[in-house]
Chain A
Amino acid sequence: MPLVIWSGLNHSRTHPSIPCRGTQHLLKAEKLSIFRGDRLILNGISFSLAPGGILILRGANGAGKSSLLRALAGLTPLAAGELLWDNLPALADREAHAARIGWLGHQDAVKSALTPAEQVPQTALALVELEKFADLPARFLSAGQKRRLAIARVVAAEKPLWLLDEPTTGLDAASVDRFLELCAAQRQRGGMVIASTHTPLDLPNMQVLTL
């Protein structure tokens, strides 16, 4: 069973330029409604993503971007509507759904007492130019470097669906470009990306959902 957060797995097959697992999947959301606490914050959200698709979530702070991503991951229940994976209910088996997802949350989930190499495979560290810091406890990393470490973890897990909550927060311009390359590689091998961001982006075949 794959374990996203555990370093030491998937060492050999992490470079995104290697076309791996060319399986094609389809994600479809039909009229999703989501509660946060007692308040209905999202209603009638529908979209569909084909292999290689990217969906950018826009909206003001508090519009519900994070809530939508958490619901798509199965962390919070849907109040109404249905999420379909290859035209089958996606959230019926939450463990199976989790195995499809590369998750980058609002926080980096980086353990400051562990080194980057202990949290993410070495080959993935090179992708975000953190290999120099591989054996330094992560508390010495800057906010942007921690974000890059979290991105590397998503890449290393090699999941067909990336759910990214403001992935570019704290990244410098070069790192944003690097991140976009990684996204392009994910799409090229048939993966899907759903990301919320305030950074203006112009990507080919980009879908935008404004909440």
Chain B
Amino acid sequence: MIGLIARELRLSLRHGAESMAALLFFVIAGTLFAFGAGPDPAILTRIAPGVVWVTALLAALLPLERLFGPDFEDGTLDLLLLSGWPAYAIGGAKATVHWLTTGLPLLIIAGPLASMLRLPGEKLPLLLLTLLPGTLIFSLLGTLAAALTTGARRGAMLMPLITLPLMIPSLIFGTAAATNPHPVAPLYMLFAMLLAALPLAPLGTGLALRAAAE
């Protein structure tokens, strides 16, 4: 499985512009909120966690279409399914690579972006703590949605329609944990969702990939 992940990582580093595009989107969209909402620190401080969460979610969606699309079109998907690995392992590897190339960089940039939006420094660790399971859930569910739309006509239109409802619960509990004075309960909920997605999303991804290859 390490070999599988290493190969996918190498490929996505060669196509580095795609991950960069997601990061740029994240930074630009976050900055635009500061212009749109005005420079009032009170307002910015209030909306900062929500803005960071929403823009991170949207940025994580950007590279999804390239996750399986090229593999499906150039025949690599067949080879992956015939590589002797179970299909869920392929799904897990793809989700891991998506997180390493998109989720982790988003997590790293989220700190400076939140400070720019006037989030007080003492609230930053909590925001990042919610974004850690958050970005992992984005990668897992996003990979599932990408696999479901692989090979479908108008997949580009289907993708957000499938992904967004899947991700809204984690958005609700994530921002609740980041802003609530009692963050423990929503945090538990967020980690529970991660624990559920961890086995289920790759399993679903595997099934969807098999169906796409038929």
Is there contact, CB below 8 Å, between B78 and A3?
no
Given A1-B85, A75-B214, CB of A6 within 8 Å of CB of B75: no
How far does the alpha carbon of A190 sit from the alpha carbon of B135 in the complex, in Å?
50
Q: Which residues of A contact B78 (CB under 8 A)?
A: 70, 73, 75, 103, 105, 109
| CA–CA, A114 and B71, complex, Å | 14
Which of B3-11, B29-37, B39-47, B182-190 is the interface stretch? B3-11
When the two chains form their complex, are residues A6 and B10 in contact, meaning their CB atoms are under 8 A apart? Answer: no
Residues in A with CB closer than 8 Å to B86 are: 95
A76 near B214: Cβ-Cβ < 8 Å:
yes
- Minimal beta-carbon separation of A198 from chain B (angstroms): 19
In the complex, which residues 42-90 of chain B have their Cβ closer than 8 Å to any Cβ of chain A?
73-76, 78-86
In the complex, the answer to whether B75 meets A5 with C-beta atoms within 8 Å is no
Q: Does A118 contact B (CB under 8 A)?
A: yes
In the docked arrangement, what's the CA distance between A69 and B5, Å?
A: 28
Q: Are A105 and B75 in contact (CB under 8 A)?
A: yes
Quick check: is B154 within 8 A (CB to CB) of the other chain? no
* In contact, A103 and B76 (Cβ under 8 angstroms): no
Distance in angstroms between the alpha carbons of A122 and B87 in the assembled complex: 28
Q: Which residue of A lies closest to B3 (CB)?
A: A6
A89 beta carbon closer than 8 Å to chain B: no
**A-B CB contacts (within 8 Å), total count:** 73
Residues of B near A95 (CB, < 8 A) are 84-86
- Cβ-based interface call for A99 (8 A): yes
Q: Known interface pairs A111-B11, A114-B14, A118-B10. Does A4 touch B83 (Cβ–Cβ under 8 Å)? A: yes
Q: Is B196's CB within 8 Å of the partner chain A?
A: no
Nearest CB in chain A: distance from B148 CB, A: 18
* A98 within 8 A of partner (CB): yes
Asked if B213 CB lies within 8 Å of chain A CBs, one says yes
* Pairwise interchain contact A1-B74, C-beta atoms closer than 8 A: no
Task: Give Cα A109–Cα B4 distance, bound, in whole angstroms.
Answer: 15
Contacts of A109 in B (CB 8 A): 74-76, 78-79
Q: Are the CB atoms of B214 and A77 closer together than 8 Å?
A: yes
B15 adjacent to chain A (CB < 8 Å)? yes
- The closest CB in chain A to the CB of B2 belongs to A6
With contacts A107-B74, A114-B11 taken as known, whether A5 is within 8 angstroms of B214 at the C-beta atoms is no
CA distance A117 to B209 in the complex (A): 27
